[in-house]
Amino acid sequence: MDNHTINAVLLTDSSTIDGLITSLLDGHRFKIKAINSVEADYFQQIVDAKPELIFIRAMLANLDGLSVCDRIRSHPKLCQARLIFISSDTLNREHAIDHRANKFLQLPFSRQDLSQAITPLFEQKTKLLLVDDSKTCRRLIKPSLEQEGYEVIEAGNGEQALKIIRSTNIDIIVSDVEMPVLDGITLCRIIRQQEKLSTPVLLLSSQQTDKAIISGFNAGADDYIIKSDHSATRKIVVPELLSRIERLLNAQKSQGRPERILVVEDSATMLHQLKNSLKIQGFQIDVARDGLSAWEKLNANQYDMVSPTMICLMWMA
């Protein structure tokens, strides 16, 4: 992080939590303002503070912290603030990401936990490569990405994207599938097989058949989102895209969870979706297409969880 003073707002409705955060933060680096949600003008106080960092507790006195996240993200003067969502319930981690919080902090937390949550938020901007032959689609998506703090680099097809990838360090790639010169599936395959890059790739396509989705995952994509008409793209697809990007980046930076899961599924589409969804959340994943191969993996490895399909087969045996 650079040395400028960071305006931080605490919206926890808890003097204990406010005191803990204040004691752990460097007073020379952070200008801290605690705000209570019971005050009628609490939100205007947040706006007036011009915060770069906001701590939000899940359970506020009269409000739901997730709804406050949504309101902040929709406000033009607050949308680029970094949000840290605080809760003692780990189940709120996924809800926080869905509501576009940048980080989740579980109570109780230490100075190290706090530092690990804050430091990445003020590092150099994340570089996102947006690949789509449709200028209209790029114009719809790019502003929302920039509002979230991403440095967005554009490419009109896969060939242009490859030139950028080979000359610039890209943190994440969002690509259409159907494009002239070089399509998104081929681009993804080259990134994985020739360039040997582990950069997260999210395919954003109007193709919604099982065959198209499977082709994307087989080429090495980390996630796949179906886009629709322009109206739906702005209202539905973009919020989902932002959430998925945050998950992929968190998974990339995370050390991962220790739990190892065996996913057993004969549907290739479901198998890819389950595998990638769990990987994004940091789990170690092994897959099997049928009971026999699953049984062999169970005999060779230790798992913390097995899919319900396999549990039924074991019970019947």
More confident residue, 7 or 4: 7
**Chain-centroid distance, C-alpha 43:** 26
Residue 315: pLDDT over 70: no
More confident residue, 266 or 139: 139
pLDDT in tens, 139-149: 889 888 887 87
Q: Mean pLDDT, to the nearest integer, of 77-82?
A: 89
List CB contacts of 48: < 8 A, sequence separation 6 or more: none
Give the model's pLDDT for residue 230: 58
Q: Mean pLDDT, to the nearest integer, of 85-100?
A: 89
Confidence grade of residue 281 (pLDDT, cut at 50, 70, 90): low
Count of C-beta atoms within a 10 Å radius of residue 57 = 24
- CB–CB of 88/107 below 8 Å? yes
Give the model's pLDDT for residue 147: 72
Give the model's pLDDT for residue 1: 53
Using H for helix, E for strand and C for coil, what is the string for the chain?
Answer: CCCCCEEEEEECCCHHHHHHHHHHCCCCCEEEEECCCCCCCHHHHHHHHCCCEEEEECECCCCEHHHHHHHHHCCCCCCCCEEEEEECCCCHHHHHHHCCCCEEEECCCCHHHHHHHHHHHHCCCCEEEEECCCHHHHHHHHHHHHHCCCEEEEECCHHHHHHHHHHCCCCEEEECCCCCCCCHHHHHHHHHHCCCCCCCEEEEECCCCHHHHHHHHHCCCCEEEECCCHHHHHHHHHHHHHHHHHHHHHHHHCCCCCCEEEEECCCHHHHHHHHHHHHHCCCEEEEECCHHHHHHHHHHCCCCEECHHHHHHHHHC
The residues facing 151 across adjacent strands are 127
- Phi/psi for 102 (5° steps) reads -80, -35
More confident residue, 13 or 285: 13
Confidence grade of residue 173 (pLDDT, cut at 50, 70, 90): very high
Residue 159: pLDDT over 60: yes
**Chain-centroid distance, C-alpha 215:** 23
d(CA 34, CA 11): 6
Give the model's pLDDT for residue 55: 98
Whole-prediction pTM value? 0.60
Residue 240: pLDDT over 80: yes
d(CA 225, CA 23): 42
Confidence grade of residue 317 (pLDDT, cut at 50, 70, 90): very low
Confidence grade of residue 210 (pLDDT, cut at 50, 70, 90): confident
Give the model's pLDDT for residue 277: 66
CB-count exposure of residue 197 (10 Å: 0-12, 13-18, 19+) = middle
Cα distance between the two ends of the chain: 57
More confident residue, 285 or 234: 285
CB-count exposure of residue 229 (10 Å: 0-12, 13-18, 19+) = exposed
Q: Which of 26-30, 56-60, 157-161, 252-256 bottoms out in mean pLDDT, i.e. has the lowest?
A: 252-256
Give the model's pLDDT for residue 59: 94
d(CA 107, CA 2): 28
Give the model's pLDDT for residue 70: 93
pLDDT in tens, 21-70: 999 998 788 999 999 999 999 999 999 999 999 999 999 998 999 999 99
Give the model's pLDDT for residue 316: 39
- Domains (range + CATH), the chain: 6-122 (3.40.50.2300), 127-253 (3.40.50.2300), 260-316 (3.40.50.2300)
Confidence grade of residue 311 (pLDDT, cut at 50, 70, 90): very low
- CB–CB of 170/127 below 8 Å? yes
Average pLDDT of the chain? 86
Give the model's pLDDT for residue 75: 92
Among 161, 169, 150, 153, smallest CA distance to 189 is for 161
More confident residue, 189 or 208: 189
Give the model's pLDDT for residue 313: 39
